[in-house]
Each structure stands twice: as structure tokens, then as C-alpha cells.
Amino acid sequence: MLRGRARRTAALMACTALAGALVAGCGRAAQADAGVHEDVIATSFKTSEELPERLAQDGTTIVVGSARAGTVVRVYEDMRCPVCEDFEETGGGEALRGMNLAGEVRTEYTLASFLDDRMGGKGSKRAANALRAALERGKFLEYHDVLFAHQPEEAVDGYTDAFLLRMASKVEGLRGKDFDAAVKGMKYRDFVAASQQAYQADKVPGTPGVAVDGRLLDPYLWNGLFDADVLPMTIRVAAAAAAAKPDA
């Protein structure tokens, strides 16, 4: 409990300090950027199932949410990563989803698989392949959330074909001949390899990694990812920082 309070206090202090610096440096424009972006909020959605999702032209980015959203949040995740599970299940993941549903942000996912090399096994690669197959059926986000809700222990390499198909059965309309074959045959292995390369090319220090409007989150804002109440402020302040220093 004390750890949670300390993390929240640190996150709030970091956000407040950066927001203050931006306002002092850029005046009312920065102050507006640090707000809710009410002028660019796009069409809202009621459930995750309604969120549009697609593969970007780069062939590795999975895009979820409105194309009209004023802020783009890129999330780097390895499906075996327990800290990613912490972010998604008990941290700010739900709050980020709320911003996605409200049309305030669009979320872009890059799926890493480096933990297979570090821990042994092929679970990260198999999970990323299965998620790519789910995208073909418009079920990426639903399946992504199910997999994190039932994430195996990192060292177990539990993302087997049987496990992935069993979890897919929890997502209505996902299972089928083509999906099952794609999972068992690693149909999207090229996507998996290219996604890991994209993760490395972006020089992300670890997972979960977050970039807001093309700029990796400042380290001192990191704690804000793991508090649902603080995350929206963290994203908005980071967006304002990216706007103030777009080339940083």
C-alpha cells in the first residue's frame, strides 16, 4: 500500500513539474496542450469491440482506435513480460483504454519477442503470431486483453499452441479453421521477426515501453504508467512535451 502511494506521489510530482515547465516556457499554447484536447477528440466508442483496428503500412504497427484522435500512444510489449501484465491488469492499462474509447488517443502496438532469447522457448513469438492472426478477424484487442488476463509465468514459456487456442475460445467469433491454422503453423513469423526489429530500431529501453506522439516517455514519468488515476495526466503532459519539442 505504501509502495502504491509512493509511486503515485512520484508520478504526480513529475507530471506537475513538467507541466509547469511547459507552461512557463511556451505560454498558453502549452497550457492548452497539457489539457484534455477537447477540440480534437474524435468519435467515441462504447466498448473495446467497437474500436477499429488495422495493420499500419509499415507492416509491424497494430493500430487501435480513431484515426482522428489528437494523441498517438505507442505501446511496446512482450507478451511474456510480467511488468507488461502489471501495466495492463493493475496499472494504467484500463485508463489508457478509456482514453482510446473516448477518442482522445489512438493506441499503436509494437510486439517485441526478445524474452524468448533471454528466457528460452518460443512463447513470445507464438503469442505475437496469434495476435497478428486475431487482427485478421478484427479481434486483436479483445484477444490481447484475454492473453494478459491469463498470462503464464514468464519462465514457464506457457504460450503453447494449445494454450493460445484455448484462450482464443474466450473471444467470441475468433476461433475458426483459418485462425487455428495460422496459430499452429506460425503463419505470421515474418511479422513477428519484423516487429522485434522495429522494437530494437526504436531503441526502447524495455517493456512496457511507451511513446507519445513519437517521443519515448521521459523516465521520470514512468511511474505514471502504473496508476490508473495518474495515467491520463501522464499522457497529456507527455503530449504537450512532444508538441513543445517535436524533434527531441
Q: Element (H or E) spanning 197, and its range?
A: helix 189-201
For residues 157 and 47, state if they share a domain. Answer: yes
24-28: long-range contacts, CB 8 A cutoff, minimum separation 24: 25/244, 26/244
Which band of pLDDT confidence, cut at 50, 70 and 90, is reported for residue 3?
Answer: low
Q: Which three cell numbers stand for residue 244?
A: 513543445
For residues 11 and 86, state if they share a domain. Answer: no
Torsion sign across C-alpha atoms 139, 140, 142, 146: positive
For residues 198 and 124, state if they share a domain. Answer: yes
Rg for the chain, CA atoms, rounded: 18
Q: What is the pLDDT of residues 164-218, one digit of tens each?
A: 999 999 999 999 999 999 999 999 999 999 999 999 999 999 999 999 999 999 9
Q: What is the pLDDT of residue 21?
A: 42
For residues 177 and 90, state if they share a domain. Answer: yes
For residues 101 and 57, state if they share a domain. Answer: yes
CATH number at residue 110: 3.40.30.10
Asked whether residue 37 carries a pLDDT value surpassing 80, the answer given is no
For residues 76 and 198, state if they share a domain. Answer: yes
Asked whether residue 36 carries a pLDDT value surpassing 60, the answer given is no
Of residues 32 and 8, more confidence is placed in 8
For residues 154 and 224, state if they share a domain. Answer: no
- Enclosing domain of residue 238: 1-34+219-248
Which band of pLDDT confidence, cut at 50, 70 and 90, is reported for residue 6?
Answer: low
Which band of pLDDT confidence, cut at 50, 70 and 90, is reported for residue 7?
Answer: low
Number of domains in the chain: 2
DSSP 55: E
Residue 243 near residue 33 (C-beta atoms within 8 A): yes
For residues 87 and 127, state if they share a domain. Answer: yes
